[in-house]
Amino acid sequence: MSLDFKKMIEIVLQKKPDTSAEDVRELIDEKKRKIGAGYLTDQGALFLVAADLGVSFENNQSNLTSIKDLYIGANDVNLSARIINIYPIRKYTKRESNEEVQNRTLTIYDKDSSIKLRLWDQHVSFPEDNEVKPGDLIKISHGYAKSGLDNKPVINLGAKGLIEKSSDSNNDNNNLEIPSLDSLSKTIDEIKEPIDNIIVTGILSSNPRVSRYVNFRNEPGKSLHIPLSNEEGTKSIRSIIWNINEDKIPGIFTQGSKVKLIGVKVKQGNPQYSNEEFEIHGDEGTIIQLQQIKSVDGGNITDEDEEFDGGKVVVLKILSTGTEFESTVNENFLAIDKENKNFISLVVDPRLIEEKIYPGIIIEGIPNRVFGNVIYFTDESSYLRIVTETYESSFPQDSEIETKIKNIKVSEKPYIVEAIILQAPNTSNITTKSGEDITVSETLIGDDTGEIRLTGWREQSSKISKLNVGDRVKILGAVAGMGRENRIEVTLKPFTEIREME
């Protein structure tokens, strides 16, 4: 029997003290026999038995103050809790009345448990109107509990409900018993079992990435993949934030950052994707915060409590441009940075700079966003200028950063390869799982150390289809991954340029 059923039994026994649990059980069985087998569950029969006894489950929790005591069907729910997640407002139209309604979900917790709280209509702007955030205390009154999609209770707050921001300083005993948000925090080393609604901290062990997917409703979405490890790098865990809004990703988000994920769950690992025992899942209500590592002294890492902000000046040499036409927004380049000599994917809004950006020039600026190995100069908060003469001797020669085919390995790092086209390009159309029709072109390239397949998808397909057998080319910015027959192949990216050699 479920917890909800047990709670209903308790209510009947409280209101009918002369009736025993055995009596109620017999009445339930008798009701099911009279109605007929297959028409009633035990819980359904209990509703009818309660009606016969004059017991109502309405308004039976006027003094309810604990989440763990909630059950589906509870009314007049009144309790204090802290917020973990705040989800976006959702709007939809009722089919039967064509009326537009809106709601919003919060995840809240008290000293024993956590639950979803759904705000309706006039309550949806409560977080903004009252400047509440995760960790803040709230008090709700006159809510009611319904079943969620996972068959767990969800508190709903409608026209009769009330919600207000509370405070730790009001000396309410219920508030004082609710632990702080930090008490929910776990490090990667402390994750030992599946658990909902927690905070996880870890180190970004490699660059994050955003991928597209289609959910079970056939709706497109984006997921953020965040590989996290402990501070020693000895334990890692796969972390995914589903339905991510890219505007919510921190502006500076690179390998080595210390990450705090607020409002996630730990699930059993999926052996299809990794051999890790657990994995972390979040969604559009998850908050991503970064902490800047101040120093490393004798193995002890000291952290800033404030969120890490950008503003660092970068100096980059442009190696290639993937844009084959005049563009007014977001041109893509491959660049190398002066400080670490790493390859960088560069995205620039050309309206931010008067001069034309082309391979060979050197730029200096303050980006508005850094995501892994991608640097963005795409809004007016960024700064950009050409400084070729100042730093011309600070970068390696092109020949020093080229790679032979035999040395190509699967990596996020782009490669520069000089090769010969060995096969006529083959172009075909394929349909993805989401129903999208896309074009893919491929060919075989080789140098004096080996051969490898070169592939271009979607817009990059045309860069390959125009090649001819025997052409000598320099490919600037292809990325290596595992292809068909479990063999390494190189794939074109938006910043990739294929340059014909004489």
Q: Give the ranges where 354-471 is alpha helix by DSSP (H).
A: 388-391, 461-465
Q: For the chain, how big is the Rg over CA atoms in Å?
A: 30
**Overall average pLDDT of the 72-98 stretch:** 86
Question: Domain end: 160, 177, 194, which one?
Answer: 177
The answer to whether 32 touches 40, Cβ cutoff 8 Å, is: yes
Q: Which of 421, 406, 402, 433 shows the shortest CA–CA distance to 463?
A: 421
**Domain assignment of residue 62, yes or no:** no
Do 324 and 246 belong to one domain? Answer: no
Instruction: Determine which helix (DSSP H) or strand (DSSP E) holds 453, and give its type and residue range.
Output: strand 450-457
Q: What is the pLDDT of residues 326-378, one digit of tens each?
A: 455 678 888 998 888 888 888 888 888 888 888 889 999 888 888 888 888 88
Rounded to whole angstroms, the Cα distance separating 337 from 335 reads 7
Do 194 and 300 belong to one domain? Answer: yes
What is the model's pLDDT at position 294? 43
**Domain assignment of residue 122, yes or no:** yes
Residue-level length of the chain: 502
Residue 209 has pLDDT above 50, yes or no: yes
Lowest mean pLDDT among 125-139, 203-217, 435-449: 203-217
Rounded to whole angstroms, the Cα distance separating 379 from 374 reads 15
**Domain assignment of residue 127, yes or no:** yes
The angle, 0 to 180 degrees and rounded to 10, between the axes of the packed helices 3-15 and 42-53 is: 10
Q: What is the pLDDT of residues 417-450, one digit of tens each?
A: 999 999 999 998 888 766 678 899 999 999 999 9
**Domain assignment of residue 348, yes or no:** yes
**Overall average pLDDT of the 127-135 stretch:** 92
What is the model's pLDDT at position 82? 94
Dmax over CA atoms of the chain, in Å, equals 100
Q: In which band, very low, low, confident or very high, does the pLDDT at 303 lie, cut at 50, 70 and 90?
A: very low
Do 411 and 475 belong to one domain? Answer: yes
Whose tokens are 């075989």? That residue is 444
**Overall average pLDDT of the 456-477 stretch:** 89
Whose tokens are 């709007």? That residue is 91
Residue 381 has pLDDT above 90, yes or no: no
The answer to whether 314 touches 362, Cβ cutoff 8 Å, is: no
**Domain assignment of residue 328, yes or no:** yes
Instruction: Determine which helix (DSSP H) or strand (DSSP E) holds 177, and give its type and residue range.
Output: helix 173-177
**Overall average pLDDT of the 235-253 stretch:** 88
Question: pTM, whole model, 2 decimals?
Answer: 0.70
Do 457 and 488 belong to one domain? Answer: yes
The answer to whether 5 touches 43, Cβ cutoff 8 Å, is: yes
Question: Domain end: 394, 421, 448, which one?
Answer: 394
Write the CATH number for 385.
2.40.50.140
What the block records as the tokens of 221 is 């979405």
Do 428 and 386 belong to one domain? Answer: no
What is the model's pLDDT at position 354? 80
Q: Which domain holds residue 386?
A: 314-394
Do 173 and 191 belong to one domain? Answer: no
Do 249 and 284 belong to one domain? Answer: yes
**Domain assignment of residue 229, yes or no:** yes
**Domain assignment of residue 61, yes or no:** no
User: Chain-wide mean pLDDT for the chain?
Assistant: 84
Question: Domain end: 124, 145, 177, which one?
Answer: 177
Residue 97 has pLDDT above 50, yes or no: yes
**Domain assignment of residue 59, yes or no:** no
In whole angstroms, how far apart are CA 97 and each of 31, 67, 302?
37, 34, 58
Q: Which of 72, 56, 70 shows the shortest CA–CA distance to 140?
A: 70
